[in-house]
């Protein structure tokens, strides 16, 4: 059993949103303090930016970060997926498509399933971090997973 998701998933799902919200609160605090020191200034226009940052950040977190699985393990002919104290097994033959997006942060692997599971019809996770001179080269772990899924489907 080999872990195929990044160990930074905890950081992206738990710590980074806390830092983001903390930054917005500190920024808003400075605005409120400045308006307290100078009551002639209008506060509403200055608070639009923190509200906008909160809204956009929340939407991005919901769609790009909170949908990531906590742990994904490769167990040979199936994947063991853990998220929020739930655990499921997905056979490689149940995977319809693998998409890999490297140009966003965090990088993202999305497995489209033939039938929905407890986590939905798509499973997303962050692959292990790697450093390469060619940023457009596909992750070797993802390439291997795609080949193994293809072999499993052809044997079925």
Domain count, the chain: 1
C-alpha dihedral, 135 to 138 to 142 to 146, nearest 10°: 170
H runs (alpha helix) in the chain: 9-10, 16-37, 44-60, 140-155
> What CATH number does residue 77 fall under?
2.30.29.30
How large a percentage of the chain has pLDDT more than 90? 60
- Distance separating alpha carbons of residues 4 and 8, to the nearest angstrom: 12
Are 87 and 81 in contact by the 8 Å Cβ rule? The answer is yes
Are 1 and 73 in contact by the 8 Å Cβ rule? The answer is yes
* Burial class of residue 135 in the structure, from the number of CB atoms within 10 Å of its CB (0-12 exposed, 13-18 middle, 19+ buried): exposed
Give Cβ neighbours of residue 63 (< 8 Å, ≥ 6 apart): none
Q: What are 81-109's pLDDT values in tens digits?
A: 999 999 999 999 999 999 998 888 888 99
- Distance separating alpha carbons of residues 10 and 22, to the nearest angstrom: 18
Owning domain of residue 6: 1-156
Q: What are 9-45's pLDDT values in tens digits?
A: 999 999 999 999 999 999 889 888 888 888 777 777 7
Give Cβ neighbours of residue 75 (< 8 Å, ≥ 6 apart): 1, 89
């Amino acid at each position: 059993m080999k872990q195929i998701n990044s160990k930074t998933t905890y950081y992206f799902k738990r710590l980074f949103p806390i830092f983001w919200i903390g930054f917005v609160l500190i920024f808003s605090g400075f605005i409120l303090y400045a308006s307290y020191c100078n009551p002639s200034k209008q506060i509403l226009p200055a608070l639009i930016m923190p509200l906008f940052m909160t809204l956009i950040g929340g939407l991005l977190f919901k769609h790009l970060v909170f949908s990531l699985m906590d742990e994904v393990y490769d167990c040979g002919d199936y994947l063991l997926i853990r998220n929020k104290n739930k655990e499921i097994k997905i056979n490689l033959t149940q995977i319809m498509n693998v998409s890999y997006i490297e140009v966003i942060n965090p990088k993202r692997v999305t497995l489209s399933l033939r039938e929905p599971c407890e986590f939905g019809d798509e499973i997303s996770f962050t692959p292990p971090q790697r450093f390469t001179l060619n940023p457009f080269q596909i992750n070797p772990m993802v390439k291997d997973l795609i080949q193994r899924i293809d072999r499993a489907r052809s044997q079925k």
